[in-house]
Structure formats: structure tokens, C-alpha cells
Structure 1
Amino acid sequence: MKAYLMYSNRDFQPGGDLPWGADTLIADLELKTLFATMAQGDAFLYDVARKAVMTSLCEPQQIRYRQDVLRDCVKNASAVRSLYGIAVEAIEIEKKSYFGFFNRYPAAILTTARSLMQSFIAVLMKVRTMADQASGRFHSEGFTRFFAMIQQELADDYFHTLDEHLKELRFRSGTLMSAALGKGNKGLAYVLRKPAQRDRNILKRLFDRKPASMTFHIAERDEAGARALSELEGHGLSLAADAVSQSAAHVLSFFRMLRAELGFYIGCLNLGNTLNARGHSFCYPEPVPANERHHVFEGLFDVCLALRLGGEIVPNDLAATDAGLFIVTGANEGGKSTFLRSIGLAQMMMQAGMMVGATSFEANVCASQFTHYKREEDASMTSGKFDEELVRMNEIAEHVAPNSIVLFNESFAATNEREGSEVARQIVLALLEKRVKVFFVTHMYQFSHGLHETMKTDAVFLRAERQEGGARTFRVSQGEPLETSYGEDLYAQIFKEDRTVSKDHGHTLFEAGSTSSAV
């Protein structure tokens, strides 16, 4: 049995390695906040969310398939959580009998597997009951196929046959098997036999002639004989033990897969509930094929920032088609980095089949996503900061593929503006030539102005807004690069210009521009 709730044609694998650069992407986009909200303290849900988000879907139809399943989950949240609880219950049952599989005796293996299968019957019946009761309320392709599979595979005949087999495997009338003699009278070709059907007439069973047979008895203290008899029985039970244990493992793997796949949607429900509780809206994004260049959205906000702060977050709008380059300039502390992070988060969430923090969102899917952010000075570095930036860029270049997206945040500013601008310009043009979409936040006027003069059609230039007097709106809108980033606004905010002297707990504090002194 397969769930097929995450993919239309394959299973979701919660384990395994993440793509190259995943740790950097998680740090730069602050994705741990997203995972923690989805998990709500559950370590298993955290791992599932992390793997699902970091292994992006690259085909629009795959994204829509998962979105439809998510819509069903939102409409039937209680039923989905109950189904998830059933899967967890089955796994907990297995944990209590887990050690039986390590026993080397077939009889012990058979006993443990049989007991486990007997316990699974009750859980499987709960799944079947839920399929009968809730299937009419689910309309996505994933859930429709899932419930149809449950009703077909777990029919009444299945439970009746399974119960009969498990009763027979108790061998209450002893074990019947056949064998042949090989060289040296060693037994071979052991076959477990099904006992003949017992006659229901008690009188016939009492007075009918018994078939001829030979019987031997083992003394009570004959340990070697008992061991030999146990090994003889084990030869006959071996195939049956393997078959029953494989059946139990198959049922267990189904519940594990069901738990993992439903776990992703439980995480999405947790995230949606948290955003709703804080007054933030979200939407189901519209994915566009990778060979197009499309970025159109309204009310886009940084989900992780909203989750951390809990207050009102300023959203942004954009309508850009046929553009592969986005240059973001403007005032310091004006919201450029937050805007860039919202772009990366929305892309990741869309390609995971999730909701996006926006009123509406449309974008082309990307083969992969990378970030190149400025880093704080590291005393342990053996080379300069600019060299370190180039090394990281070289690593990205080795892994980037056509139709990927790269987010730059104040990159290549560790050297003088002329050199940094030229390096940035050549890297950006090389990426665009390989059909890589680029978002670049920068203060380098020579770099941004030069591209603005030469790229009139394939690029969009955005600028963080600044009101008269220096106030920041934290919105980003289209606008050509300016020579200044208005750093003096921050200076004036931090250092008052009234040239007054204030005292705090006996310590003298000199305001900016002050020429007086105090004793």
C-alpha cells in the first residue's frame, strides 16, 4: 500500500541528505523559525518540515497536486489529524514488540510477528472506517486515490482472511510439516503443512480410526533433545516466520510513510493557524513553468519576521514579467534585506507546495535556490573578507544550474566600490547568460547605475522608500538607483544634533558634534 499524498508517483523520503548549500540557505532565510512553527515542539514534524521545504518541487503540476491535498487538509483538519494519530498509534504498537525481530529462533520470530499483525488489525480497521466516513469530503486527486486504495485493499474479505490465517498460525493442535532425507539421513526440503480440516462431528472424531503414526517422547531433562526438536520445528516454521514478519514490516512501512506524509500537512496546518491567530493572510501561489520569467505578487511579507515579532509587517507588491534581474537599492534600514528574504521564503514555500505569506503570488519555479549574503568579519579566516566572498561565489557557480535563482545581499562590498562593482557586474551578467534569475541588494552606486544604463528591458530596479525628513516606510517600489543611501538619517537618529551634554549615573555622555567638555 502506498499513500502518494506528497507526490503523485512516488513516496516521500523524510531521511537522507539535504541538497548542497541547504545549511546556508536555512541560515540566510531564517528558515528555522518556519520549521519550529510548523513542528510546534515535535522533533519528528521538524525533520519532516525541514526535508520537505528543502527538497523543492520543480514542476508546476507537482506543486498543484500537493496544493490540492493541502486544501483538503485545511477543509478537513480534524479528520487529517485523526488519521495522523492512527499512524502514530500503529508505530507505537511496533515499538513495544520491536525486539522480537532480533530473535534467531523462527518460532519466536513467528510469535512476535503474528502478535504484531494481530494488533495492526484494529488500527487498519480504524483507517478503513475513516475512509468510509470521510472520503466524500475530500476532493483532491491524492486523497481520492488514497481512500479508494484503502477501501479496496482493506475490504471485509481481507480482514476475515487475515484473522483466519493468524488463528491457524497459533498451531494449537501442533505443527504439521514434511521433510525428505538427504545424505547421511539429514533432513531437507522441510515444508510446513496445513492441517486437515477437522470434522465438526464430535462422535466421528472420537471413534474414527486414527492414521498410523510413530511417536517418541523426550525426557524432561533432555536439554539436547529439546534443542534438537526446537531446531527441527524451526526448519518448518522458517518460511512462515519470514512471510508473517515481512507482512508486518509491510504494514509498518505503510504507517511510517503515512505518518511522514501527513506530518508535512500537519505542519502546514500549524503554520496556518499561527498566521491566522496573528492576523496575517496567506494564499496558494500560482507556479509558472521554469523557462518563463515571472514575478507578480501583492501583499508579500516576510513570514519568519512575522512569526518572530508577532506584530504588523509591512507588505510589498511587484508586477514583473520577462525580467531575470532585480536590483534593490535605497535607504539604509529601509527594508531591503527583509524584502529579499521574503522573496526567498515565498519561492521555497511555493515549491514545497505550501501557502505563501501574501495576498496573491505568482512566480516561475526554479531548479534550485542559492544565497550569497555578506558575512561578519571572522578572526579565524586565513584570507581577507573579499577573498572569502569570492570563494563562496565560486562554490555556488559549481552547483548552479539554468533556471535557478540566486539572492545577493550586499555582496562584494568588502573591497573598494570600483573593484566590487566590476566583480559584481561580471558575475551577474554571467549568471543571466546561463538563464539564472538574480535578486541583488546593494549600496554600490557604480554597479547599480551602470546596469540601469545598459539594461532597459530585462531588469527591474527597485528602491527602498524614504519619506521627507528621513522616515522609512519599509516598502520597496520601482525606482532608479540613487547615489546616496541616506546614511546621515541613521546618524541623526542615533546622535542628536543639539550638541547637548547628558549625564547617566555619574558618567558623562557627549552628543555628536559637541565641542564642550565636562569635569
Structure 2
Amino acid sequence: MKTPSSSRPAAGATEPAIPPVPEGEAESSLLFATHSPRPPTVPDGSAFLEDLHLGHIIDAVLAGRAQYDLRGSFLAPLGDEDAVAYRHEVFRDLEEPGLRRGVESFAASMRSVRSALEQAGKLHYRRQRQAWSLDAAVLYTDAVLALARTLEAGPRSRALTGFSARLADYAGSAGFAALREEGRSVREGLGRVRYLLQIKGPTVTVRAYAGEEDYNARVRDTFARFEQPEDAEHVEQRSSSVDMDHVEAQVLDMVAGLFPDEFANLDAFTATYERFIAPLLAQFDRDAQFYLAWLEHTEALARDGLPFCYPDVGRESKEVHVQDAFDLALAHGARGADPPRAIVLNPIDLDDGERIMVVAGPNQGGKTTYARAFGQLHFLGALGLTVPARRAQLFLPDAVYTHFERGESHTDTVGKLHEELLDVRATLAAATGDSVIVLNEIFTSTSLEDAVYLGSRVIERIDALGALCVCVTFVEELADASEATVSISTRADPDDPTARTFEFVRRRPDGLAHAVALARRHRLDYETLRGRLTR
């Protein structure tokens, strides 16, 4: 009977998805405390996800984990500080190497269990399906007990402490003991089956083994000298299918006739335990991947020298203090780049009474990247994740809104301005005093006078709301639009004022941002002119 030796999927096979957990069967999970309200999910494809490159970040984090269906968990920011702390506790538990290895080992075993069950569902012959299911059940019980032993060390998080207690109850239950003992008994019984296969011409005879000499070793020794290397061109390519053919199936039926008790036990076991994965374990298996996926992604970047931290997230204060922040999507894209791309780390600071950062500076100087980092930090912090910074004190927003220039438009400037005004109006209508707003290059299609007027009204409205905002603009006058504004600009290189440092500091704008933007719009900037003159 072709059965799995390790129950692992064939190379290139698509691993099956985790079975859904019945509604209400899990009182709490690794992601949410007992009876904690589940936050709404942000619609995938929302504009702010694209603007802040959060969709790219989530894609990178979840690469290779489609079977866990975790995307929704990365699109549901939390609404209170305790929910964030609940997840931070789990991350800190997983910093302990032994516990981390135990959880990862359990996940690997469960992938093998699901793969074996999926393979069983594809097989044609009943007894072969039963053998795969039996092996999956035995592997499952081994994995459960190994996880229980791992958690005996005593995790500290509320999530893992609660789960450990429920797991101990489950592993010590009569139902689980019956599953484990019966599964092992049935497999051991089948392992003792010995039979004699006699082939004479077209006739195949199967009878009970009675101590006859085993010719297998003698046949192998006789023909060993004729073996060909595996890479020989003329070696027969065998089928990779695990399904039995009709001859093997008939032989198996005859063997079952010789050992009715053993195969009757197999029938009874698979009928009784058709579905043996407990919802508690299925939920844990999925939820653990939320943490493991993030750890795997961020640890790879940390090895490159980029910092991550547990942010201090709350709603009592709107002060924001971040040391060495960076754009996570940019950092991921820079990995493996040739030539290597250095990631510049920047501070972000808003003191008491300051809520709006006005960021100015030359084009291609990193302003948009700086603004994205601000938005990313608040969204990722609200998910209960570690964030890309060395230290971070963040506000817990009710939502993140963005307005980004969509690049060149083939419409006339009046039409583009009208569209932009409608978009900004919709953002301001939806935002609250607990929102985070990221504005990038607003009102570039109009005159400086109009851009100052419109931009000032927008800043005043955001100030009245009490929302946090970062505004990237060429309109340097917006730095004085409100008492809540802070002027941020790129640091100039004292040896080469034209060089981009991508470093941001608190300072007044130098008055050249609009001139540079205007020159670039009319293709009269330094880079464009130099390109024309050197052709």
C-alpha cells in the first residue's frame, strides 16, 4: 500500500487551506482576548493601502502563506491599547528560542497533516485513503503532545497562557486519548501484517506468510551490478503519483481478506475519526502564523541592520516621538538591489500642541518616503506589530486617510484641480479628531496664490478636527497656516548643496521649493537641462 513516509506534499504541490473554525467555538485566540470585539476589516485595495505601499508590505509578509488566509488580519487595525498590548505579549513570548521552535515545529507538522488529508481525498482506492488518514491522525496527536510539552515551560502572555491551559485540558481528555491510542493500535496492527506474494505468469497469488525465505535481499544482491546511476539518460522515469494502480489494489483487497481484524479496525477508526482536528488547534495554527510571518519578514531586515521596536501606542496623548524611522516597503525593495541601496533613518517628532508636519524640500529628496513612513508606523502600530523604528511613541488612530498626487494627468488643470478638491473634501468629511491624514503634493496643478489659499484652508480644517497630519508640499507658506504646524525640511549637505541627503530636520523652508517645482513642471530643472546639453 502506498502510504506517506512523512506525510509531506510532493514538490510543487499546493498545500491545502486550514479548515474553517466553527463560529463561537474558540473563546479567545492568539489575536484577540476573550470576548474582545473584532475590529472591522479595511477593504483590500483601499487608496491609503496603495499610497502608503501597505499592500506591498502585506504581500511580502504573507508570501508562501496563502493557505492560512491571513490577509484580513493584516487589514484590521485594533481600536484600543490593551488589544495592542495583548499582541505585543505574544511577540515577546516568541522571542524565547525554545518556544518559537516548538510553535514552528507544530506548524510544520500541521501542514503535513493537512497535506496528507488532502492527498487522501484525491486517492481512488478506499483502503489507501484510509491509510493516509490514519497516518495523518497519528502525526496530529504527536504534534499536539509536543506542543503541550513546549508550553509547559510557562509562557507569560495572556494569549499563550490561556491557550496552554485549554490545550492541557484537551490533551488530557478521554476523547484525545482514544484518538491517540486507537490510531497507534491500528497502525501497529497493520505494521505486523506479513503476506506472501507469488507471481507465476499472469497469475498472482496472495497468502499468509508462514516463515518462508525472503528472496528480496538475494534478488537485490544479484542485480546490484546492473544498477544505473540516477542521472543516466536511459533510466526509466517512474510516475510520481502516489495513487495505487488496479493490480496493487486487488492485491491489497486479497491481503485484507487474509487479515480481516486488522482492516476492520482501520475501517472503524477512519469512520469514527473522519474529522479529528480540534477547532482549538486549527485556530491556534492559523493565528500563530500572524506572528511568525511578521517575525520572519522583519528579522530578515533586522539582519541588514534595520531597527524594529515595540511602539508605545495610546490615545491619551497625540505627541509622536520616533527615532530612526524608515519606509518598510522601500527597505524590502532595497534588499538584494545592485548596487546596494542604503536606507536612511529619520526622526519624527510632534510635541504637545503640535499635530501637523509640513514637509518641504527638493524633488526626489525623500519627502514622500518620509510621509509614507509616518502613515505606515501608525497603521502597523495599530495592528499590534513591531514597527520600523528604534523607538516609537505613537497615537492609536481610528483610521488612516491619504491624498496622493496620481502622477501626470491628461485632463486640463481645472478638471484636475476640481477632482483633487472633491477628493480632499471627502477625506476631511470622513476624518475625525482621532484620525491620521497623509497629504502628498496637494494643489500642484494650480497657481502658487491659489495653492496657498486652498492649502491653508485644508490645514485649518485639519487643525479644527484635531487630527494628526503630515503634509508634503511645495507651498512653504503652509508651515505658518496654523499654530499646530511644524516645519520639516531636508538637511542640506554643506559640501554639496545640490546633493540629496534624504535626512529630515526641523527647520524653516529655504524658499526654493515652489521655484524648483515650477522648473520641474516646465522641464527646466537642473537634471533635465543637463540631460539636454549632454546629448
Normalising by structure 1, we get a TM-score of 0.69
2:499 to 461, 471, 489: 471
Alignment of 1:180-259 (within 5 A): 251=277, 253-259=279-285
Amino acid at match of 2:287: E
Partner of 2:526: 492
- Given the alignment of the two structures, is residue 420 of structure 1 paired with residue 420 of structure 2, yes or no? no
Partner of 1:499: none
Partner of 1:83: 106
Partner of 2:427: 396
Amino acid at match of 1:357: P
Partner of 1:347: 378
- Counterparts of 1:53 and 1:249, CA distance in 2: 29
Alpha-carbon offset, residue 392 of structure 1:
2.1
Alpha-carbon offset, residue 423 of structure 1:
2.2
- Counterparts of 1:297 and 1:359, CA distance in 2: 7
- Counterparts of 2:355 and 2:45, CA distance in 1: 23
- The answer (yes or no) to whether the contact 1:334–1:472 under 8 Å persists in 2 is yes
- Counterparts of 1:510 and 1:283, CA distance in 2: 48
Which consecutive unaligned segments of at least 5 residues does structure 1 have?
101-107, 168-240, 497-501, 503-508, 513-519
- Counterparts of 2:428 and 2:167, CA distance in 1: 47
- Counterparts of 1:445 and 1:369, CA distance in 2: 24
Alpha-carbon offset, residue 96 of structure 1:
4.4
The Cα offsets for residues 102-143 of structure 1, whole Å up to 9 and x where unpaired, read as xxxxxx9xxx99x96995465144213321234315322211
- The answer (yes or no) to whether the contact 2:170–2:176 under 8 Å persists in 1 is no
- The answer (yes or no) to whether the contact 1:74–1:269 under 8 Å persists in 2 is no
- Given the alignment of the two structures, is residue 377 of structure 1 paired with residue 408 of structure 2, yes or no? yes
The Cα offsets for residues 459-484 of structure 1, whole Å up to 9 and x where unpaired, read as 32211222343222211111123321
- Counterparts of 1:93 and 1:279, CA distance in 2: 40
SS in 2 for 1:136: coil
Alpha-carbon offset, residue 327 of structure 1:
1.1
The Cα offsets for residues 441-466 of structure 1, whole Å up to 9 and x where unpaired, read as 111133334x1xx51xx332211222
SS in 1 for 2:31: coil
- Counterparts of 1:319 and 1:305, CA distance in 2: 21
The Cα offsets for residues 289-329 of structure 1, whole Å up to 9 and x where unpaired, read as 2x421210111111211111133211111332322211111
Q: Tell me the C-alpha RMSD between the 2 structures.
A: 3.9
SS in 2 for 1:406: strand
- Given the alignment of the two structures, is residue 481 of structure 1 paired with residue 481 of structure 2, yes or no? no
Partner of 1:59: 80
Partner of 1:285: 311
More displaced stretch, 280-289 vs 75-84: 75-84
Alpha-carbon distance change, 448 to 147 in structure 1, aligned in 2, over 3 angstroms: same
Partner of 2:89: 68
Amino acid at match of 1:51: G
The Cα offsets for residues 355-386 of structure 1, whole Å up to 9 and x where unpaired, read as 11111111111001011101123448998211
- Counterparts of 2:464 and 2:120, CA distance in 1: 59
Partner of 1:197: none
- Counterparts of 2:378 and 2:458, CA distance in 1: 22
SS in 1 for 2:387: coil
- Given the alignment of the two structures, is residue 435 of structure 1 paired with residue 466 of structure 2, yes or no? yes
Partner of 1:4: 29
More displaced stretch, 440-449 vs 61-70: 440-449
Alpha-carbon distance change, 426 to 124 in structure 1, aligned in 2, over 3 angstroms: farther
Partner of 2:296: 270
The Cα offsets for residues 187-225 of structure 1, whole Å up to 9 and x where unpaired, read as xxxxxxxxxxxxxxxxxxxxxxxxxxxxxxxxxxxxxxx
Partner of 2:148: 131
Alpha-carbon distance change, 511 to 130 in structure 1, aligned in 2, over 3 angstroms: closer
Amino acid at match of 2:146: T
- The answer (yes or no) to whether the contact 1:6–1:12 under 8 Å persists in 2 is no
Partner of 2:193: none
Alpha-carbon distance change, 25 to 256 in structure 1, aligned in 2, over 3 angstroms: farther
Amino acid at match of 1:370: Y
- The answer (yes or no) to whether the contact 2:137–2:276 under 8 Å persists in 1 is no
Alpha-carbon distance change, 288 to 321 in structure 1, aligned in 2, over 3 angstroms: farther
More displaced stretch, 259-268 vs 75-84: 75-84
- Counterparts of 1:81 and 1:381, CA distance in 2: 56
Alpha-carbon offset, residue 259 of structure 1:
2.9
Q: Percent identity?
A: 20
Alpha-carbon distance change, 321 to 160 in structure 1, aligned in 2, over 3 angstroms: same
Alpha-carbon distance change, 254 to 96 in structure 1, aligned in 2, over 3 angstroms: farther
Aligned length: 409
- The answer (yes or no) to whether the contact 1:296–1:362 under 8 Å persists in 2 is yes
Alpha-carbon offset, residue 339 of structure 1:
0.7
SS in 1 for 2:511: coil
- The answer (yes or no) to whether the contact 1:286–1:362 under 8 Å persists in 2 is yes
SS in 1 for 2:152: helix
SS in 2 for 1:287: strand
Partner of 2:399: 368
- The answer (yes or no) to whether the contact 1:86–1:127 under 8 Å persists in 2 is no
- The answer (yes or no) to whether the contact 1:299–1:358 under 8 Å persists in 2 is yes
- Counterparts of 1:255 and 1:378, CA distance in 2: 52
- The answer (yes or no) to whether the contact 1:8–1:142 under 8 Å persists in 2 is yes
1:386 to 406, 417, 436: 417
Alignment of 1:159-170 (within 5 A): 159-161=176-178
- Counterparts of 2:133 and 2:37, CA distance in 1: 25
The Cα offsets for residues 28-84 of structure 1, whole Å up to 9 and x where unpaired, read as 112243223323444346x52x32332111211111110110122232332221122
- The answer (yes or no) to whether the contact 1:87–1:258 under 8 Å persists in 2 is no
- Given the alignment of the two structures, is residue 306 of structure 1 paired with residue 331 of structure 2, yes or no? yes
Alpha-carbon distance change, 248 to 327 in structure 1, aligned in 2, over 3 angstroms: farther
SS in 2 for 1:402: coil
- The answer (yes or no) to whether the contact 1:91–1:256 under 8 Å persists in 2 is no
- Given the alignment of the two structures, is residue 144 of structure 1 paired with residue 180 of structure 2, yes or no? no
SS in 1 for 2:453: helix
Partner of 1:328: 359
Partner of 1:180: none
State which structure, 1 or 2, has the greater radius of gyration over its C-alpha atoms. Answer: 1
Alpha-carbon distance change, 142 to 17 in structure 1, aligned in 2, over 3 angstroms: closer
SS in 2 for 1:473: coil
Alpha-carbon distance change, 414 to 492 in structure 1, aligned in 2, over 3 angstroms: closer
2:479 to 444, 448, 465: 448
